[in-house]
Structure 1
Amino acid sequence: MRTNSALPSGSLIIRERLLRRFEDATGQLIPFVVLNAPAGSGKSTLATQLLRSPLLEQFRVYSIHGASARGQSIWHSLGRCLAAAEPAPLPDDDAYSREWVHARISALTEPTLLLLDDYHGMTTAEHDRALLALGESNPHFHVCVLARSVRVLDGPLYMHRVRVIDRNELAFTAEESLDLAAQSGVELSAGLTEAFSQADGWPVAVAAVLRTAHETENAPRRDGARIGESIPAPAPVAAHPALQRVAIDILDVLRELDPHARVVLLGASLVGSFSLDHAAELIGKPAARTQSHIDTLLQLGVLVRLAHGAGYRVHPSVRATLPDIAAQEFSTSKRKALVLRAAQEMEKSNPFDAFRIYLRSSSLAAAETVLWSNFTAITDRSDACLAALSPLNDAELFAHPTLAAARFFLEFESSTVAPKRFWHTSQLSHAGAQRRLKLNPDPADPLHIGHRMQVMIGERMQGNAPAALAIAQDIEARLTSHGRLEGPDLRTSGNNEPVLLEELAFTAFMGGDSALARRVWQRLSILMEQMSERASSDSSGGAPHATLRPGPWQHAALSGLALVESNEGDFRRGAELLAHSDQVRDEYGPAPGLAWVNAEIVRAHHAYEFRRPDLLRQAIERTLPWCDRIEQWPMLIMAEAESVRYQRGTDWALPQLRAGIAQIERERHGVGVWGGYLALYQAMLHATSGNFAASKQIMDALPARNPFVQIGRARFALFQGNNVQALLLIQRLGPAALNLRQQIDRFLIAAIAAWACGRTEEAFDTLRSAGELISRCQLSMMLRSVPFEPLAELAAAARDAGVCDVVALINSVPELARCVMRESLTQMEQRSLESMITHPSLADAAVALAIAPATVKRHRLTVYRKLKVGGREEAILQATRMGLLQRPGSSDEKGPVTPPT
């Protein structure tokens, strides 16, 4: 099975990279080199090239072949080799041979190389250490060992004394395979490239492919392709005929050499990887006996040790051929048992493959357990995971809701999946999880937390925010300070924690518990930092199949924290978190499961505060493909309306808001408390535009104890001109229970109302507090929700009094965004207003009111001024909106958003 048995020696390429491995830093031959690789790896070919190289021009070379030395001690073999030119042969006495070899090597004065081929037949711990000692006894003496395996020479105890060249180094690179093809006169084709890929650099396999290609007509080269160019490999095809022949030849050899090893090889071909225990179960032999059969396969090269952990896999060159043969020799039940046993072993080292094996074998309960334990890592391979889940029907998804949850998670973030499909999958996950919890409410069930999370998400998606929030609060209460679930049966593996924490935090935010959302997102951020540090420190180790990427989940945590801080009113801190979030996204990619949308919501709101319309455009462009499923849609359309209010005023913002709501199919979206926030935002816009009737109608439908509602009522009284009531309402709110946004609102309303009531010191103090908070949080947009003129008057007075100077801050509000306060009407002005409807002409109104026409005209002009209108029609419209006139059907407003119950 040597490479040069498949190709003429003249076709072999000289691999300088390997010849340089025999040299030390000074360009001299390394004292002790071991070529430790299976059969067919090209060890003898490399040794031949070494002997012909300039490096050994001055060396005397002695060679021993293991096959001829079997049954002899190493001392006898060495003695016979070194004494080949002696007049008399050495006696067979081992002790004499040992002394003679030591004396002969110690006396060497010229560079000498001892080449031991097929040393695997002689290797023992004693022989290996004896060779090492000989190699170090004289600087002129060098040793080169060729073996399919060695006992201790490649171990960690001797790595500083031995240069080991293993199978990976001896394997042909893609470029070397192409060079070999060119030197062999073989024309390059897509089929040949695919065959090289299957051979995976194993020299004997590459040589077999080239030999077949040389003997048969090959496919013509692609236009423009030259030997040595990289040609894209075609889709996976059947094994190359030459590789099929290699596999069959190996099986024929094993049939005579080691039948049990043959069974192990066929069984291994049916699974991705297997262990010693698995192989022992397959052939029914003890582990020690089984290891000898595995060693046979390793030495033949058809079996490869896994890079991490104790396990093996079939070499790619024969992997495509053997399963068909195994299917003929193993029964269906034996094959299934083999595969399931392998999946059990892979659950920790390769959970994704174990998950797929369970699905293919219809072991859905096992697949569900592995999925939940590794939810984040498995769903991170989105395309492959979705392909594995797609064949499942509704009954299977309902019975195993975690599988439905994974499919919903992946479909939800795919803009090409129709909403009808993923909403249906969400319902299967929700209903199935509820059923499972009812059948088995035991918290010790490994899937208990997963099912509760699925119910939580389902309730949130259906708009039942209180129920979802209650579940989130209960789960969070069971989290330790490290973000892991308490209890021996409820610990998570790190591969489901990110999605659990993200969903907990987002549910808390949508339910109105910002403190909980902040805590959990902070916990997620810390967890991802720790995982990143571990990944960096374990870059040379760890599980090879762990696909969890901390970067995108760090983006999710930072986006969520930016959302919380900005929503609470700290735009400065939100902007810092958003910038950090964007850096993480640029480096590692966006957060999974549309968690990245939180960053775009923040960006949309920062657009109007930082006067950056481009930020709003960017946010809308990024979220547009997913507009039919974004749960935060109320926040997005509020950001659009607020940007319009900043640029064009409230009268333009209200139609923009109504148009945004009309475009959303609200029955598909659970908005949590954001339905109420959306209603409050409309109430604020109506109040600032003077539409008191619509504003009152909305607020009357909202919970009276809600701090936002109480602030809204105080704002309503302020714009109505009822300053005493506004001051009383706002003073009932204690600042301790308010967030930054609410505190600013409270200070501004209280300052204007106190100023109007003649409470100057109180007005100055609250204005100063408001200015400090606005500057600290960078939230000047709050100035657009209170009357501008009295606020500017108060600011000027406070500046003149030396209390604080916020005049420039208040004057920064654009003119179109400044709110006006309409004055209340006297009794006579109210009667004059009503006469505009019943008696449009001045003469008729004067007769009806029993006053002079000039007096009627004067009162009407006063009404126009107080209502901030330019004529009779505008006055009637504005008065109707303010509730000063009652005329059925006169309102031009559409009904307000109904808040959730």
Structure 2
Amino acid sequence: MNDPTTVGVPRPSRDHLSRPRLLAALGDGELPLRVVRAPAGYGKTALLAEWARSRPATVWITVDDECATRLGFWSRVVALLGTVHPALADVEVSADAVGHLPALLPPLLDAGERPLTLVVDAAERLADPKIEGDLLRLVTHTARLELAVGTRRDGELTDPATALSIDAVTVGPRQLAFTAEEAARLAAQVDSPLTAEQVGALHDASAGWPLAVRAGVRLAHEHPWPAAHEVDTLSRLQWMLVGDLEELPGFADLVLLSVVDGVSVRQAELLGVHLDGHPIVAAVEARGLGGWEDGLGEPRFRLQPLVRDAVRGRLDDDRLRAAHRRLVDWYEDRGDRAGAFESALIAQEWQRARTHLGQAFREVAGGLDRQWLRRVDVPKPVLRAQPLLALFVAVGHYALGDVAKAVRLLTAGVATAEWQRLSRHGRVSVDHVWIQGMLTLGLRFAGRDELVQPALRRLHAMLPRAADPAGELDHLRPIIVTQTASTHLLLDRVDDAVRTLAEPPPSRAAGGSGALHAESLAVLAHASAGRITQARAALAELVDPRLPRFFNAGFYAIPKHIGAAYVHLEDHRPDAADDELAQTLPHWPTVEWWPMVLHARTLQRWHAAGPAEALHLLETGLAEKSRKPLGAAMRAMLTAVRAELLLAAGRPAEARRLIPSRRIRPYPRLAVAKARGLLLDGDHARALAITVAPEHEHRGTPRDRLHLGLIAASARLRSGDPAAAARAFAGAVARSRDTGLRSPFAAMPQADFRTLVAAVPDGAELRADVGRFPALFPEPDALVSLTRRESAVLAELATPDTLPVIAGRLGVAAGTVKSQCRAIYRKLGVSGRDDAVAEARRRGLL
């Protein structure tokens, strides 16, 4: 390189992809130690080289046979450092002095004008372990030298104790894996023949493994990556990566090891393979196709997923089942229920699998990765004979996003089971309970709300009558409670969910995240109902120090995140609500809670950015989920918030069409939106009639009843009955004190709120608290009925672009935009563009 202060840094390859997030992870400030640790093929050298080129003075050394010893290493390092640091040019390295270098070099480095960076690549080749200790002592005793290391293996430099004793940054395989966005950028950069969908399938199937992604995006047109639904197919890429491994000694042992996703030395011995010094292990490591990883208790040798699939394809079914029969005992001895369950399924030990599931449902579910179902094949006769197993397999299909298959599987055996029950004179067995549970869950997945409730009632009627000599239902009663509460929440029967969760706490024999599912649901149930004080109390029980590791990133925490977002919005903290909801987004493609996630995200965006942004987010989310089943209650919830956003955005005509009067009776949320629209439209009598309907008092949550009470207060005030308005408002204030719910006051016409709160004793606190919320709706007198197209044109008028440019962006003629502008000016009572934008901002339309 031309820079004399940078020595030995490799040049980037033509197709090097810059990844700013990794450069940011390494950091550009002063730091004693940075370590990039990963198997071959993860791009360690390329990352370190790009990072090193931004440093003021860098010396790069790639460890080879000549500098693998202590003397050879320090001889080369000192010689290279001397080229950029004159004070080191005369330092002599000898066999006698090499051990003293960590003490001799710091004073010389401290005398330099600027700090130096030393990069040691391929550090796994260092033959003498003392070298790592030398490096640590050196950077500990001088602030003028920073060390960056690239290595394939663990050592003193990667020891957690090292990171605790000095400031250190470690970048590992998980961070080095390509994100979906980076894989797409790489494909574009190398002009890959793959489509965007194929690149996405490549990324998903390889879990972002850089070696596979880089090879895959270069596949020729005649050998494309499989389509998204074919990611399990052994492709040309897999065999290209495996290469000639099968010609090497010990390939048959590698095939046998592929039955497990990561095998320990003792586990390999159980399978008949001795890993120590095995030649095939060294070959796999050298090619970056796998390597040793730290496991629970002992290291594991793990193949990359694509390689494992390719190798395992050479294992016949009999040998596969025989291996897993031995593994079932192995997992049982160690208390690993999830491992024993999956191995029992693959070994076709159906009763053993059922036993583990019946005794430790949550533990099994929590210990399995989401792809487990792709590795097993449970025959239909077994699923019909084992309803609990069928229930679990169906939930697995739902978790993978295959809703239709889950519903088919859940409902397929119901008729047979019912015939068996009737033939036994109505006696109820445990299997009949699970069959009814399958039916209930299948109807829920399919969005058939009108059938879910009777199915759930029948399930609970069966429980006390079921003959259960083994006590299986006692083991699974916590699951029944949480799934019942989940069903009530998805039916928008929040009070029923609260009552279910308030029953005596079930046994907590199993630990982990699943044991906290009920608490997570309680946060959502209280927050969704509007009992904010109780939601805060439930949330306080789930503080981070008490939670299992990774709880917040898992499925069981999703209700907690949604409920916490509602609480944060009540506390005027939309940013905190956004942080909570961001943790649900990895589950967005498959999670059943998606309507409630979308509802909470929409409210957060409304509070943070206004109704137009929130409406866009809601409509985009609904479009993404257009093929997902949506029950009537969740549809009503999302329709209600959409109608209110249309009102808030100044589009009352569209909101009115969205909620016909005949639809509101079963759903208080729709009644709130309908009554608010009538109030803002000036139809106070009809708005009041909706608020006082008895069914809403019976079915509505405290949140619904508070909204309706405030709408009633406004309607009475505007109808000339201030005394009745004051009574309605006082009732709403009392309900607010009981629940801690304040945001509905911000949805009132603010003129009405100011008038009515003035008569409330100690109303100053309420007035100040409500004043911190954004204005959610325009004032009734300021409401302007704009069409969808007029709203779009109004938003464009706030930009500096000319009308012809705006017309091009909207895909209409310039004359059409001009006529729409005239209509907007007339409705706003202004005469020009600038006045229209100013008036729209004043009315809250922009």
TM-score with structure 1 setting the length: 0.47
Computing the radius of gyration from Cα coordinates, the structure with the larger value is 1
TM-score with structure 2 setting the length: 0.50
